[in-house]
Structure 1
Amino acid sequence: MFSVTSRYHGIETARLSLPGGREITYVRRRFLPSGAPTVVAVHTVSQGERLDNVTARYLGDPERFWQLCDANDAMRPDELTSETGRLLVIPVPQGGL
């Protein structure tokens, strides 16, 4: 259902049956990984830097920004690059390339 690089890859789906026979398929809740990530690098955010560029540089795919969010306990991706000088933990990439 989802690409191997998606944060939702491998998460179970479920179905909700509504009155009238209509069924809705949905993805179950995704929980953040427990424990500290395995860190491969630490990146210092530069002024005007974009998260997709950081992610492409370290993880090889700009759409894997969510892995940086998970590793840095960020609910909103823009939090990660909003402050110049912030240190970002770069985790071991998850999933296939």
Structure 2
Amino acid sequence: MFDSTSRYYTLQTTKFTSLDGRTIAYVRRRFLPQGKDLPALGEVVIQESDRLDQLTTTTLGEPEQFWQIADANNAMNPVDLTAESGQRLRIPLPQV
């Protein structure tokens, strides 16, 4: 259902039968890991012009993996990660 690099790849798919008899497939909820529990590759200090997709490409090799940096920094909203210059971000070891 999801690509192997997706944050949803390991989630269980289950089914629900509605009152009218329809079967609806869905993916169970993803619980966010604690950033401090993820192995770190290093840290970066945010500069005014930084963008999360560019930081992710530079550090993890793929811009679509921004969610790994968000997880490592306990961020529910990825935009917050680059909102303040001088902020330090943990860069996790890439998850495969």
TM-score computed with the length of structure 2 as normaliser: 0.93
Mapping 1:27-66, distance limit 5 Å = 27-34=27-34, 36-66=37-67
**Worse overlay, 31-40 or 55-64:** 31-40
After superposition, the CA RMSD in angstroms is 1.1
Cα deviation, residue 60, structure 1: 0.6
Q: Which residue of 2 aligns with 1:67?
A: 68
5+ unaligned residues in a row in structure 1: which ranges?
A: none
1:33 Cα deviation (Å)?
A: 2.5
The count of corresponding residues between Structure 1 and Structure 2 is 95
Q: How many angstroms does 1:31 deviate by? A: 1.4
Distance 1:56 1:19 in 2: 46
Partner of 1:21: helix, strand, or coil? Answer: coil
Q: 1:89 deviation in Å?
A: 0.2
Distance 2:51 2:33 in 1: 24
Q: 1: CA distance between counterparts of 2:74 and 2:33?
A: 10
In the alignment, the residues of structure 2 paired with residue 19 and residue 37 of structure 1 have an alpha-carbon distance, to the nearest angstrom, of 42
Partner letter of residue 41 of structure 1?
G
- Residue matched to 2:12: 12
Structure 2 CA distance, aligned partners of 1:37 and 1:14? Answer: 27
How far apart are residue 21 of structure 1 and its match?
A: 1.7
Q: Which residue does the alignment assign to 2:3? A: 3
Q: What is the deviation of 1:48?
A: 2.3
1:88 maps to a residue whose letter is L
